[in-house]
Amino acid sequence: MRYAVIMAGGTGTRFWPESREDLPKQLLKLGSDKTLLALTLDRIAPLIPAEQALIVTGDVIVDKIAASAPSVPAQNLLSEPLRRNTAPCVALAAKVLHDRDPQAVITVLAADHLIQKEELFREIIDSAMTLAEKEDVLITLGIKPGYPETGYGYIEAGEEAGKVNDTPYHQVAAFHEKPDTATAQDYFDSGRFFWNSGMFVFKASALLAATEKHLPDLYQALQKVDGNDSPAQLKLSIDEMYPNLEAISIDIGIMEKAENIIVFPADIGWSDVGSWTTLRDLFPHDEQGNVAVGNHIFHQAESNTVFARDGIVVALGVEDLIIVHTPDATLVARRDDAQEVKKIYDELEKMGLDKYK
Amino acid sequence: MRYAVIMAGGTGTRFWPESREDLPKQLLKLGSDKTLLALTLDRIAPLIPAEQALIVTGDVIVDKIAASAPSVPAQNLLSEPLRRNTAPCVALAAKVLHDRDPQAVITVLAADHLIQKEELFREIIDSAMTLAEKEDVLITLGIKPGYPETGYGYIEAGEEAGKVNDTPYHQVAAFHEKPDTATAQDYFDSGRFFWNSGMFVFKASALLAATEKHLPDLYQALQKVDGNDSPAQLKLSIDEMYPNLEAISIDIGIMEKAENIIVFPADIGWSDVGSWTTLRDLFPHDEQGNVAVGNHIFHQAESNTVFARDGIVVALGVEDLIIVHTPDATLVARRDDAQEVKKIYDELEKMGLDKYK
Same domain, A178 and A321: no
> Between chains, do A331 and B316 touch, taking CB under 8 Å as contact?
yes
Amino acid occupying residue A27: L
For B337, the closest of A316, A330, A344 (CB atoms) is A316
For A353, the closest of B295, B310, B318 (CB atoms) is B295
Interatomic CA distance for residues B261 and B202, integer angstroms = 10
Q: Which helix H or strand E contains B321, and what residues bound it?
A: strand B321-326
Same domain, A239 and A308: no
- Domain end, chosen from A249, A271, A293, is at A271
For A332, the closest of B311, B315, B334 (CB atoms) is B315
What does the angle CA A150 – CA A152 – CA A157 come to, to the nearest 5 degrees? Answer: 105
**Residues of A within an 8 Å Cβ radius of B:** 16-17, 295, 297, 299-300, 308, 310-318, 321, 323, 325, 327-334, 336-337, 340-341, 343-344, 347-348, 351, 353, 356
> Between chains, do B317 and A334 touch, taking CB under 8 Å as contact?
yes
Query: Per-residue pLDDT tens for B293-314?
Result: 999 999 999 999 999 988 999 9
According to the model, what pLDDT value does residue B323 have? Answer: 98
Question: Mapping DSSP to helix (H, G, I), strand (E, B) and coil, where does residue B327 land?
Answer: coil
Interatomic CA distance for residues B270 and B282, integer angstroms = 10
- Please give the mean pLDDT across all residues of chain A: 95
Query: Per-residue pLDDT tens for B324-336?
Result: 999 999 999 999 8
* Per-residue confidence band for B282, with pLDDT thresholds at 50, 70 and 90: confident
> Between chains, do A333 and B311 touch, taking CB under 8 Å as contact?
no
According to the model, what pLDDT value does residue A282 have? Answer: 80
Query: Per-residue pLDDT tens for B190-202?
Result: 999 999 999 999 9
Interatomic CA distance for residues A28 and A38, integer angstroms = 10
Distance from CA of B77 to the nearest CA of A (A): 35
A329, closest residue in chain B (CA to CA) = B312
> Between chains, do A332 and B316 touch, taking CB under 8 Å as contact?
yes
> Between chains, do B337 and A321 touch, taking CB under 8 Å as contact?
no
Q: Tabulate helix, strand, coil % of chain B (nearest 5).
A: 40, 30, 30
- Domain end, chosen from B271, B295, B323, is at B271
Same domain, B30 and B170: yes
According to the model, what pLDDT value does residue A111 have? Answer: 97
According to the model, what pLDDT value does residue A280 have? Answer: 86
A304, closest residue in chain B (CA to CA) = B332
Nearest CA to B6 out of B84, B106, B116, B132 is that of B106
Same domain, B90 and B239: yes
For A330, the closest of B16, B330, B340 (CB atoms) is B330
Distance from CA of A168 to the nearest CA of B (A): 45
> Between chains, do A348 and B318 touch, taking CB under 8 Å as contact?
no
- Please give the mean pLDDT across all residues of chain B: 95
According to the model, what pLDDT value does residue B278 have? Answer: 85
Query: Per-residue pLDDT tens for B142-178?
Result: 999 999 999 899 999 999 999 999 999 999 999 999 9
Q: The domain containing residue B285 runs over which residues? A: 276-356
> Between chains, do B333 and A314 touch, taking CB under 8 Å as contact?
yes
> Between chains, do A328 and B318 touch, taking CB under 8 Å as contact?
no
Same domain, A123 and A250: yes
pLDDT over 90 at A10, yes or no: no
User: Which chain A residues are Cβ-neighbours of B356 within 8 angstroms?
Assistant: 295, 312
Same domain, A65 and A130: yes
Query: Per-residue pLDDT tens for B71-103?
Result: 999 999 999 999 999 999 999 999 999 999 999
Same domain, B314 and B262: no
ipTM, two decimals, is: 0.86
Same domain, A115 and A206: yes
For B330, the closest of A313, A317, A334 (CB atoms) is A313
- Domain end, chosen from B219, B241, B271, is at B271
Same domain, A240 and A298: no
B156 burial (CB, 10 Å; 0-12 / 13-18 / 19+) is middle
> Between chains, do A300 and B336 touch, taking CB under 8 Å as contact?
no
Interatomic CA distance for residues B42 and B36, integer angstroms = 10
> Between chains, do A337 and B330 touch, taking CB under 8 Å as contact?
no
Q: Which helix H or strand E contains A312, and what residues bound it?
A: strand A305-316
Same domain, B175 and B257: yes
The CA–CA distances, whole Å, from B277 to A323, B12, B288 equal 20, 14, 16
Same domain, A137 and A55: yes
According to the model, what pLDDT value does residue B219 have? Answer: 98
Q: How many domains does chain B have?
A: 2
A339, closest residue in chain B (CA to CA) = B316
Same domain, A77 and A10: yes
Amino acid occupying residue B350: K
Other CB atoms closer than 10 Å to residue A230's CB: what's the count?
10
The alpha helices in A191-241, defined as continuous H runs, are 204-214, 216-222, 231-241
> Between chains, do A299 and B347 touch, taking CB under 8 Å as contact?
yes
Share of chain B above pLDDT 70, in %: 100
How far is C-alpha B143 from the chain's CA centre?
13
Helix A86-100 and helix A204-214: axis angle, to 10°? 130
Domain containing A43 — which CATH number?
3.90.550.10
According to the model, what pLDDT value does residue A168 have? Answer: 95
pLDDT over 90 at A292, yes or no: yes
